[in-house]
């Protein structure tokens, strides 16, 4: 079969591989809709997780099951499914402790395009199908549902880690697709003021539609000063980091009230350290918490998030700015994600109509 792969750090291309084989609990799926992720860009062009050779890329997919293992109970060939980016080993001790993302070791619940071939292939393998796949609900288009695999669940996880409570004031730093979903998640969880930090006009417009109440342009002055001025010098209850760099933590801590929380979902692709400013962190005693996490995966999470689409509480179609028809366009879609033209939020490749 054909797949689009990371050949080595900085190099991508089409390769041929054997079709994957399903173990007793697994499924083999063919993609209906796939999307590249900014994380694929960090992985290939920053070498952020280290060297990988001939590893098929991609971890965002909606697909059709072509084969299931002998122990799979709830799915059969022909079922259309949402495939989460993170597919944990649910029996692991890490999963039992509540951190399925790290089943088998740090970040090891993230298998596609990290520890095994990803979804940019004619066929891909899903471990523990009953626990990791979710049926695509009737009436939801694959190109919208593929946003659930990673963008929705990750943005929402930022809001979960920041522990948004009713009435909280929240800053969301970075409003690419993940940050936009952090805005939507914070809004659904009951935030009051949502200050979205971004600059591109289309992202700003959509951030407002998802619930941002104020926009802060990081290209027009220091964002800490802007947040402080908008909050009468008090700062905010919560910050979600979905963009920026290693210095962004210093800004996030500075704009946080004592007792505040930061939820980081940004993938820190470069550099050795992040900065925590001593005084602004309350000289070690400010009760300002930082939680950074890999997005959750699994069937339950996907089913719950899909139900927000079914009930009309979440519309992911606004994220999808570029649609390609035909599996062979995945290379173009990935390069678009790398180059990030100003009008891009998220490209999707429809593998078949």
**226 contact choice in ligand NAD, Zn ion, none (CB below 5 to 8 Å, kind-dependent):** none
Report whether 144 contacts 317 (CB < 8 A). Answer: yes
Give the side-chain half-sphere CA count within 13 A for 343: 3
Q: Which region, judged by CB under 6 A, interacts with ligand NAD, from 204-212, 253-261, 263-271, 302-310? A: 263-271
Question: Residue with CB nearest Zn ion?
Answer: 37
Supply the minimum distance, in Å, between the C-beta of residue 272 and ligand NAD.
17
Please choose, from the candidates 9, 61, 5, the residue with its C-alpha nearest in 3D space to the C-alpha of residue 30.
61
Beta bridge partners of 350: 33, 325
**Shortest Å, Cβ 340 to Zn ion:** 15
Out of 69, 244, 297, 298, name the contact with ligand NAD by CB under 6 A: 244
Residue 88 or 174: the one with the smaller Cβ distance to ligand NAD is 174
Figure out which of the listed residues 12, 39, 263, 265 binds Zn ion, where binding follows CB under 5 A: 39
- Name residues contacting ligand NAD, limited to 267-306 (CB under 6 A): 267, 294-295
94, 117, 150, 168: which one binds Zn ion (CB under 5 A): 150
Q: Which of 14, 99, 115, 218 binds ligand NAD (CB under 6 A)?
A: 218
- Is 241 among the residues that bind ligand NAD (CB under 6 A)? no
Report DSSP state, residue 152: I
Burial 136-158 (b: 16+ CB within 10 A, else e): beeebbbbbbbbbbbbbbbbbbb
Contact 94, 65 (CB under 8 A): no
- 82's enclosing H/E stretch is strand 80-83
Name the binder of 179 from Zn ion, ligand NAD, none, CB < 5-8 A by kind: ligand NAD
Q: DSSP for 232-291? A: TT--EEEEEE-S--TTHHHHHHHTEEEEEEEEE-----S-S-----TTTTGGGTS--EEE
CB 36 → Zn ion: shortest distance, Å?
Answer: 9
Binding Zn ion (rule: CB under 5 A), the pick from 37, 206, 223, 350 is 37
Site map (CB under 6 A) of ligand NAD, residues 147-186, x = contact: ---x---x------------------xxxxxxx-------
Which spans in 114-216 are helix H? 129-132, 142-145, 153-161, 177-188, 201-210
Q: Maximum distance among all alpha carbons in the chain?
A: 62
Task: Return the range that interacts with ligand NAD (CB under 6 A); candidates 31-39, 49-57, 65-73, 252-260.
Answer: 31-39
Residues that bind ligand NAD (CB under 6 A): 37-39, 42, 150, 154, 173-179, 197-198, 218, 242-244, 248, 265-267, 294-295
């Amino acid at each position: 079969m054909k797949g689009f792969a990371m050949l080595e750090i900085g190099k991508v291309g089409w390769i041929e591989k054997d079709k994957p084989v399903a173990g007793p609990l697994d499924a083999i799926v063919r993609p209906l809709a796939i999307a590249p992720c900014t994380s694929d860009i960090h992985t290939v062009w920053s070498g952020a997780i280290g060297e990988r050779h001939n590893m098929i890329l991609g971890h965002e997919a909606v697909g059709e099951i072509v084969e299931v293992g002998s122990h799979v109970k709830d799915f059969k060939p022909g079922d259309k499914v949402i495939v989460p980016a993170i597919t944990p080993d649910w029996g692991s001790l890490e999963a039992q402790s509540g951190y399925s993302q790290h089943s088998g070791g740090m970040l090891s619940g993230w298998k596609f395009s990290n520890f095994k071939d990803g979804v940019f292939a004619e066929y891909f393998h899903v471990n523990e199908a009953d626990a990791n796949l979710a049926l695509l609900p009737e009436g939801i288009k694959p190109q919208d549902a593929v946003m659930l695999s990673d963008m929705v669940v990750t943005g929402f996880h930022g809001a979960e880690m920041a522990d948004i409570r009713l009435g909280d004031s929240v800053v969301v730093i970075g409003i690419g697709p993940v940050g936009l979903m952090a805005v939507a998640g914070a809004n659904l969880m009951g935030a009051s003021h949502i200050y979205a930090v971004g600059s591109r006009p289309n992202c700003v417009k959509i951030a407002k539609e998802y619930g941002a109440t104020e926009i802060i342009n990081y290209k027009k002055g220091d964002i800490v000063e802007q947040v402080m001025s908008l909050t009468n010098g008090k700062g905010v209850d919560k910050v979600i980091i979905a963009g920026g760099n290693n210095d962004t933590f210093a800004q996030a801590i500075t704009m946080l009230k004592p007792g505040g929380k930061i939820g980081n979902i940004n993938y820190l692709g470069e550099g050795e350290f992040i900065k925590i400013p001593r005084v602004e962190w309350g000289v070690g005693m400010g009760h300002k918490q930082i939680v950074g996490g890999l997005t959750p995966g699994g069937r339950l999470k996907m089913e719950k998030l899909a139900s927000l689409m079914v009930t009309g509480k979440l519309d992911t179609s606004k994220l999808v700015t570029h649609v390609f028809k035909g599996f062979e366009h995945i290379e173009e879609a990935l390069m678009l994600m790398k180059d990030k033209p100003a009008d891009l939020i998220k490209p999707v490749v429809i593998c078949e109509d």
